[in-house]
Chains A and B, each alone.
Chain A
Amino acid sequence: GAGVSQSPSNKVTEKGKDVELRCDPISGHTALYWYRQRLGQGLEFLIYFQGNSAPDKSGLPSDRFSAERTGESVSTLTIQRTQQEDSAVYLCASTPEAFFGQGTRLTVV
């Protein structure tokens, strides 16, 4: 596609439910990042995928967070048993040029 596409654009969920966020990177981009941006704050690194190498998961805040990517295609970020502090915009970027998607705004109520 022409850019990085994320879905859904907005998600409201109840505390304790699981959510799955999707990122479609730019075709041919081998690397993909997930970031979290809380209201009024900077970008918090979550996870990085580079081709078929083991992902860098050092930014995942807890074991409730996980992400997958098959090859150089779509990635999904899953948050289990959501908590109110998980409310944020979740951003995906594909590289080498680090183009960002519009993000998914997650609200946990």
Chain B
Amino acid sequence: AQSVTQLDSQVPVFEEAPVELRCNYSSSVSVYLFWYVQYPNQGLQLLLKYLSGSTLVKGINGFEAEFNKSQTSFHLRKPSVHISDTAEYFCAVKHIIQGAQKLVFGQGTRLTINP
């Protein structure tokens, strides 16, 4: 079955420290990859996406992610976090199957930034 695994349900980090949120997926077909952020009491906002081309993708708010096909991973990174980055982060995979596109989400990682 196709799935998305976010290995950490919670990640506490000190302000200005680097962070990596891990995402692995399983799929036997081509995929597109996404990271979304959900701030407290708000909707989902697209952070970045990988469709094709360079495997290193840069998004909003200083985040970036790298697509690693051999490891089926799409980890999200930021070199220096800020208090305002406290949020829930969701990795998502779109499986391309005979023209249909089903977007599957991981369970989310709660990033907490401590001063």
Contacts and interface: CB of A to CB of B under 8 A. Distances in A.
A43 interface: yes
Interface residues of B, number: 21
A93 interface: yes
A95 B103 contact: yes
Instruction: Pick from A42, A53, A91, A103 the residue with the most CB of B within 10 Å.
Output: A42
Contacts, number: 51
Those 9 A-B pairs whose CB atoms lie nearest each other, nearest first: A42-B107, A43-B105, A100-B44, A102-B43, A42-B108, A100-B43, A42-B105, A103-B43, A98-B103
Contacts of A65: none
A17 to B, nearest CB: 25
A50 B101 contact: yes
B100 A56 contact: yes
A45 B106 CA distance: 11
Contact of A91 (B43, B46, B99): B43
A91 to B, nearest CB: 7
A101 B99 CA distance: 24
Interface in A61-109: 91, 93, 95-103
A99 B101 contact: no
Given A45-B103, A97-B46, 17 more contacts: A41-B108, A42-B106, A43-B44, A45-B102, A45-B104, A48-B100, A48-B101, A50-B99, A50-B100, A50-B101, A53-B100, A91-B43, A91-B44, A93-B44, A97-B49, A101-B43, A103-B43
Contacts of A53: 100
A31 interface: yes
B50 interface: no
A101 B38 CA distance: 12
A33 B90 CA distance: 16
